Amino acid sequence: MKLNIGVIDLGINNLFSINNAIKYLGHNSNISSDNKLLEKSECLILPGIGSFGYASHILKKNKLDEMIKRYSKSGKTLIGICLGFQLLFNQSEEFGFYKGLSIFDGEVKKLDNLKKNANIPNVGWRKTFIYNNNKIQYFDNFYYVHSFFAEPKEKKEILMESKFENKTFCSAIKKNNIYGCQFHPEKSGEAGINLLDKFIKNEI
């Protein structure tokens, strides 16, 4: 079924890849910062690159934060990717202290306490484990670019985990109709596209 998918434009996103991925899956991609248009979408994606604080400021300034919170309660699928995933949590310690959307309980923290000479940010393909009923179902490789990670309070909401150096972290989360992933499914080849398709259809 062809869906009208809203992609939130914060003015700091690189939206080319996610736009292409949506169209590849046979859906309409509507890139916008207009609250009313986005809220009518059958699925909503919050992508993002850059700093948590600035993105949070843009969301609040344009009242996109209020719209996203309403949308999360609508029953329609909401997906956060990379920075968009982190923004779904209560707060972040990235270059200060900033409040997020509080759709998931948890904090965004810096990747630290790593092995000596670890190279930050975490950039590249990483083996990622997918869980079902707290058991590893299978794993695949996805593409990451980040220096901070989300730490959910509710461990049962963790959908996927990965490892950077000696640090295991949450790489995807799910609660009802809401998904978030730290990696970029739209840049992760066939595995990423297939996973994005499952997110959109709320099939995982």
Active site amino acids: 82, 184, 186
In Å, what is the CA distance from 77 to each residue of 5, 110, 139, 190?
10, 28, 23, 21
Q: How far apart are CA 134 and CA 186, in angstroms?
A: 26
A 10 A CB-CB count for 23 gives 12
The DSSP output letter for 157 is G
Q: Are 66 and 101 in contact (CB under 8 A)?
A: no
CA distance 45 to 79: 5
Where does the chain show beta strands of DSSP type E?
4-8, 28-32, 43-46, 77-81, 91-92, 98-99, 106-110, 122-132, 135-146, 148-152, 158-164, 167-175, 178-181
For residue 113, the number of C-alpha atoms closer than 13 Å in the C-beta half-sphere is 5
